[in-house]
Every structure is written in structure tokens, then in C-alpha cells.
Amino acid sequence: MIRKGFEKFWSYYMANYKKLMIIPLILVIVFGAVLLNNKIKTGEFIDKDVSLKGGTTITVTTNESMDPHLLESKLKQVFGTDDVTVRVLTEPFSNRVVGYSMQLDINENKTMIMNKLSSIFHPLPEEDVSIGYQGPSLAKTFFHEIVYILMFSFLLVSLVSYYYFRNIFATFAIIISVVGDIICILGLMNLLGIKFTTATIGALLMIVGYSTDSNILLSTNILKRREGSLSYRIRKALKTELTQDLSSYTVYFTMLALSNVAIIQHIATILIMGIFFDEIFTLIWNNGLQRLWVEKHGD
């Protein structure tokens, strides 16, 4: 039954690859519009946390259980800012609360912060509070460096792809597939309220490498290999790609479920998004573009 269903899907996939290319195109338009809308409203394409725009990070160690939404509302009222992010800290493998990590767009001294926090947490020993500051100038400089790193990574991907295929069109198809993946990740982050952090750049660089690998794998089977038919080669690449994706999903969902470290959870979330969109852009968009090239120039 499953095999029969797969064969039906495979026949449709091979026969209608041109029509299917509208799916990733729509995704790029939709999530690109989300980023543009955010730029118009806030002046930034993506929402950044305090590590990339400046502000204060407060960590409170406490066993007091509090609804994070209620805590966020109280912090906004007490500190007079709408830019507040709250993360609940729990023990590994349990839901027991051990504290809260809060990021606020404020620049106040420790005494003022402690006085305001005392109206929310009872009691609040000073040794249970950790306060960190990030200056806006340093944060802005760091964010610009992140952008340069991403641009440089795309340059290297372009050079490696062109060196391997010696084909401008193949290189172009791979690059726009990777770019489409990144655009959709950032757009979905905005929709879900996930802020761009220093950990995000690490996850995005991993996605660039992962997506490039899967696109090169598919392109190699379409453009360079000659054993069997084109359908056989694409099917072989699809099997390898989906096996790789299943393994990655298993690892990243495990990270997300078992870890209570915010950075690990954030990275796992971005990687899961990236693999999902990579499947669409690799198996539909890149596949379609490479097959159009083959049809025009011969298998």
C-alpha cells in the first residue's frame, strides 16, 4: 500500500515538476513580504535580541513558578518598555522551574533594576540575580560582522559549486535554492516571534552547509552522472536526501525535547525549519531548474 502510494507520488513528481516549482516561488514571495513588512514597521528586516541591538539581560534563580506571559506583562509595566523576552529555566528531564532569563531594552543601573524586580519576585536575594549589559554600538558592529560572514559563506559556496560543475546555471540554481531557504527561515522566525540572536548565525551557517550539500548531491545526479535514466538518478538522490533528513530530524527534535538550555533549543528550532525548507527548495526548485537545463542541452 505504501509502495503503491509512493509510486503514484513519484509519477506525479516526475511529470509535473514544472508546476510544482510554483510552491517554493510562493514561499519566497510570502516570507519575503513578511521580512519587508517588518522592515517597514520597525526599520529592521528581522527582530533582534539584546545581544545584537543592545539592552540588558537579567537571570533570576528562583523556585517560584510564574506564568511567563504574566511575568512579561509585569516587566513591561514595571520597566516601561514593550521590548521584553522571557524564558523559563527548568531542570533537565523535568519541568521544575529553577529560574527565569529576561531580556529587556533598557539601560538602568543595578540598584534600580533590583528595586523594580523586588516588586515582582518575593523574596529576591541579590546573589540570585545576574545582570548583563550589551551596548548598542558594540551590538550593531557585531551584527554587521554577522552579515559579512553570511555573504562570504555564499561567495565560497558559489566558487565551490562553479569549480565542481563548471556551469554558471547549475551554480545559480544551487545558490538561489540556499538563499530561498534562508529567506523562509527568517520570515518564519518573524511570524513565530523568534528573535535573531548570536546563536542564530551558527544555525544559519550550518543550514547553508547542509543545504549546499543536498543541492550539490541532487545536481550531481542530474548533470554529471550517466548511469541509468534521469528518473533513476533523481530517485537515488531523493532516497539519500530523505534518509539524511530523517536522521537530522531525529537529532534536532531530541535536542529540542530534552534540553532546557535556551541556546540549544533555539539552534535546534532553526535547524528543523532549515531542513524542512531545504527539502522544498532542493527537491522541487533546484530539481526543476536543473532538469530544465538538461532538457534544453541534453542528458
What is the rounded CA–CA span in Å between residue 290 and residue 17?
A: 11
pLDDT at 71: 82
Phi-psi region of 11 (alpha: psi -120 to 50; beta: other; left: phi over 0): alpha
Domain count, the chain: 2
What is the rounded CA–CA span in Å between residue 181 and residue 295?
A: 25
pLDDT at 207: 92
List the CATH number of the domain containing 151: 1.20.1640.10
pLDDT at 68: 81
Q: Which residues of the chain have pLDDT under 70?
A: 1-3, 5-6, 92-94, 135-139, 298-299
**Pair (59, 203) in one structural domain:** no
The residue among 134, 165, 192 that closes a domain is 134
pLDDT at 183: 94
**Domain residue limits at 274:** 2-48+137-297
**Pair (160, 215) in one structural domain:** yes
First CA to last CA distance, the chain: 33
pLDDT at 184: 95
**Pair (91, 225) in one structural domain:** no
**Pair (230, 217) in one structural domain:** yes
pLDDT at 272: 95
What pTM does this model have?
0.82
Rounded to 10 deg, the angle between the 287-297 and 230-258 helix axes is 170
List the CATH number of the domain containing 120: 3.30.70.3220
Cis preceding-peptide flag for 123 (omega within 30 of 0): yes
**Pair (96, 221) in one structural domain:** no
pLDDT at 2: 59
pLDDT over 70 percentage in the chain: 94
